[in-house]
Amino acid sequence: MPISMESELKSPAADPSTASPEPRPDFIQVKDFNFFYGRKQALFDITMDIPERQVTAFIGPSGCGKSTLLRNFNRMNDLIDGTHHTGDITINGRSIYDPKLEIIALRRSIGMVFQKSNPFPKSIYENIVYSLRIAGRRNRKFLDETVERSLRGAALWDEVKDRLNESALGLSGGQMQRLCIARAIANNPEVLLMDEPCSALDPIATAKVEELIHELKKDFTIVIVTHNMQQATRCSDRTAFFYLGRLIEFDTTEKIFSNPSQKQTEDYITGRFG
């Protein structure tokens, strides 16, 4: 029942026509969450509340579990054999591990952007409408509108509007990543997950994507994993610092980078390790 999940995840706040003034402070709730790859524990007792329509950055050295946690929000880790978890994650009040919930529906309401841009070897147009096609949408007018809205949303429309039917693989690296963002927002998700979206981009393309993140947070709850601490300071409202599978500190970005309460956080952001 994909529809039910989507409608349940859609809070009134997500619909601009009936926008409630108060975004939920605990839109994504992680409760006592432990996660294991086989016997190896990757996350330890994570508890955190991620607020709605803000940008939350996950920072920390490689292997600290930040991507693992991100990939649990849309249960991409289910694709890996031998993983299991304890604890719970809820999005807009509903557990994503509810056995009645369909993973397909969950993933449809959560957009994901990967480290390496991965447009399909199809046309720009077909890349954007993929999520609609697999949901069985055929109305040409609706598809056309979605393509324009998504590409405008990803600040790519003006660059590609005359070649929508050309292969997406002919775009530049930065354009490809923005195309992937456009593809991720085409289905109007509630949450946008970004796994180091700029690590393969040059500074100019990175600036564009960061600008875009700033725009997108008006409509989406964004969680971004980044290795780049300047990026976290530039574009996030809140920052979570992870180390060795534990959440060390989670606070406003300003607080984390100016006056962290934990020594480990301070050591990391001042470049003493990591």
Q: Give the interface with another protein as residue ranges (CB under 8 A).
A: 2, 74, 76, 79, 81, 104-109, 111-112, 114, 116, 118-121, 130-131, 133-135, 167, 180, 183-184, 187
Write the DSSP string, 137-176.
---HHHHHHHHHHHHHHTT-HHHHGGGTTSBGGGS-HHHH
From residue 232, give the alpha-carbon distance in Å to each of 77, 109, 208, 235, 265: 24, 25, 15, 6, 14
Q: How many whole angstroms separate alpha carbon 175 and alpha carbon 117?
A: 9
Closest distance between another protein and the C-beta of residue 193, in Å? 8
Nearer to another protein, 96 or 269 (CB): 96
Residue with tokens 């979206």: 197
CB atoms near residue 95 (< 10 Å): 14
CB 110, min distance to another protein, A? 8
Closest CA to 28 of 206, 182, 238: 238
> Rounded to whole angstroms, how far apart are CA atoms 256 and 274?
16
Q: Which is nearer to another protein, 108 or 178 (CB)?
A: 108
Nearer to another protein, 186 or 248 (CB): 186
Which CB sits closer to another protein, 31 or 163?
163
Q: If you count them, how many residues does the chain have?
A: 274
What is the nearest approach in angstroms of another protein to the Cβ of residue 132?
10
What is the C-alpha end-to-end distance of the chain, expressed in Å?
44
In terms of CB distance, is 142 or 230 closer to another protein? 142
As measured in angstroms, the least distance from the Cβ of 148 to another protein is 19
The CA radius of gyration of the chain, in Å to the nearest whole number, is 18
Residues 6+ apart with CB under 8 A from 272: none
Give the whole-angstrom CA distance, residue 56 versus residue 88: 19
Q: Between 106 and 240, whose beta carbon lies closer to another protein?
A: 106
221 vs 253, which CB is nearer to another protein? 221
In whole angstroms, the minimum distance from the beta carbon of 118 to another protein comes to 4
Minimum Å gap between C-beta 196 and another protein is: 13
| Residues sharing a CB contact under 8 Å with residue 39, sequence separation 6 or more, in sequence order | none
